[in-house]
Amino acid sequence: MNQFFVRNIDWRGRVVRGLGGVALLGGAIFCRTDWPWLAVWLGMFGVFGLFEALRGWCLIRACGLKTRI
């Protein structure tokens, strides 16, 4: 399990995931009153994107799939 959480993205991937996480959290805030369940899902994915950015780790890459960034 220790090898699964090894850093696997560089600074460019971290920036992309961080910006995506912030965008998803912004979307969650924007739609929280009209579509609360969508806001919950966007918020969860946004927090996960920020986790990936801060950790330098990508779930998709950890599963063995190659990503461009």
Summarised one tens digit per residue, pLDDT across range 40-52 is 999 999 999 999 9
Q: At what angle do helices 11-30 and 36-55 cross, to 10 degrees?
A: 160
Q: Quick one: what percent of the chain has pLDDT higher than 90? A: 86
Question: What pLDDT, on a 0 to 100 scale, did the predictor assign at position 4?
Answer: 87
pTM (2 decimals)?
0.90
Q: How confident is the model at residue 10 (pLDDT cuts 50, 70, 90)?
A: very high
Q: How confident is the model at residue 13 (pLDDT cuts 50, 70, 90)?
A: very high
* pLDDT higher than 80, residue 2: no
Compute the distance between CA of residue 17 and CA of residue 31 in angstroms, rounded to an integer: 21
Question: What pLDDT, on a 0 to 100 scale, did the predictor assign at position 16?
Answer: 96
Separation of CA 56 from chain center: 11
